[in-house]
Structure 1
Amino acid sequence: PSWPPPLLTVSLIPGYFLEDFVDMLCNQKLHQSWELLFHHSVVIVCFGIAVLLHQYVGFALVALLVEINSIFLHLRQILLMANLVHTTCYRLNSIINLGTYVVFRIATLAWMTRWLFLNRENVPPAMYAVGTAGMAIMTPMNIILFYRLLRSDFFKSSRDVQREKEQ
């Protein structure tokens, strides 16, 4: 029997995050990657449940909207590694990154949290607990990352400005 395209799409996600998880374990120091490893663990569990039970696939597909912003987060990292921070490309990416962050991360997580709350009677207690825990972990992590991006790309400290003048 063949799987419907939405389930097939969702089934690829745990494998991708598992591969990235193992890569980080092998190639990065734990103190540098623990937040992402934790994030990946939550994603693997949540998407794994959707795949194994063939349920909540639509919810998982909505969660994939978050990955649209990942394009700009990854481009930001590439531009940082290439030392292109003071370029128009970096600045433009920073603005798009922030916009897509609000739309595809913050708004998506807010919608998912709202959906879970409004449908709590229709979701089995164990799945509701997993979903609630997942949202309780992902939402603060994303708010903290948003703050770090704002601080880094838009609100330079006086120390950072002084350091740039000295270079």
Structure 2
Amino acid sequence: PSRSPSLLTASLFPGYFLEDFVDMLCNQKLHQSWELLFHHSVVIVCFGIAVLLHQYVGVALVALLVEINSIFLHLRQILLMANLVHTTCYRLNSITNLGTYVVFRMATLAWMTRWLFLNRENVPPAMYAVGSVGMAIMMSMNIILFYRLLRSDFFKSSRDVQPEKEQ
């Protein structure tokens, strides 16, 4: 069968996530990376099904909108590692990160969940189960990460604030 550009595009991502999965296994401690390893496992399974079965490729491509936010999550991590937390660049990235998180992560995952629910009669039960579990996992993980980002970048607790020096 001929390969559509959409299928070829979707085919790249299980490989990307698999490579990142192996890199984390080799270069990070498990307690530091288990959440991302779990996330990557779910993504690999879901994209793998779409690519191998040549079905749900459109939904898989919509899921790639989430990766737009990853740009700002990764930039945030780089700025943290560079100890640039108290800079305008970090603050602008935090705001952009939050905005793209809502638009490209939460809205995309909500749309995908809605699509799955509305099309449940057209999706085989096994695929519906995999999709439902995958979406539940992704939504839960992303809600937790959103809370952590809000708490870390916007709602610092009193223990996180440094006391002002007396003059």
1:162 deviates by: 2.8
Q: Mind listing any 5+ residue stretches in structure 1 that lack a counterpart?
A: none
Q: Whole-Å Cα distance in 2 between the matches of residues 110 and 83 of structure 1?
A: 34
Deviations 1:54-108 (A, max 9, x none): 0000000010000000000000000001111000000000000000000000001
Deviations 1:12-59 (A, max 9, x none): 000000000000000111010000000000000000000000000000
1:3 deviates by: 1.3
Q: 4+ residue stretches of structure 1 with deviation over 2 A?
A: 162-167
Q: Label 1:127 to 1:163 Cα distance change in 2 as closer, same or farther (>3 A).
A: farther
TM-score (norm 2): 0.96
Deviations 1:96-151 (A, max 9, x none): 00000000000011110011001000001111011001001000000000000000
TM-score (norm 1): 0.96
Q: Percent of aligned positions with the same letter in both sequences?
A: 92
Q: Whole-Å Cα distance in 1 between the matches of residues 165 and 147 of structure 2?
A: 24
Q: Label 1:166 to 1:69 Cα distance change in 2 as closer, same or farther (>3 A).
A: farther
Q: Whole-Å Cα distance in 1 between the matches of residues 140 and 165 of structure 2?
A: 34
Compare the two structures and name the one with the higher helix fraction.
Answer: 1
Aligned to 1:110: 110
1:165 deviates by: 6.3
Q: Whole-Å Cα distance in 2 between the matches of residues 38 and 139 of structure 1?
A: 13
Q: Label 1:16 to 1:58 Cα distance change in 2 as closer, same or farther (>3 A).
A: same
2:161 counterpart SS class? helix
Q: Whole-Å Cα distance in 1 between the matches of residues 88 and 73 of structure 2?
A: 16
Aligned residues: 167
Q: Label 1:165 to 1:94 Cα distance change in 2 as closer, same or farther (>3 A).
A: farther
Q: Whole-Å Cα distance in 1 between the matches of residues 166 and 28 of structure 2?
A: 31
Q: Label 1:146 to 1:166 Cα distance change in 2 as closer, same or farther (>3 A).
A: farther
Q: Label 1:35 to 1:165 Cα distance change in 2 as closer, same or farther (>3 A).
A: farther
1:163 deviates by: 6.3
Q: Whole-Å Cα distance in 2 between the matches of residues 101 and 30 of structure 1?
A: 26
Q: Whole-Å Cα distance in 2 between the matches of residues 2 and 26 of structure 1?
A: 36
Q: Label 1:166 to 1:25 Cα distance change in 2 as closer, same or farther (>3 A).
A: farther
1:50 counterpart SS class? helix
Q: Mind listing any 5+ residue stretches in structure 2 that lack a counterpart?
A: none
Q: Whole-Å Cα distance in 2 between the matches of residues 49 and 136 of structure 1?
A: 17
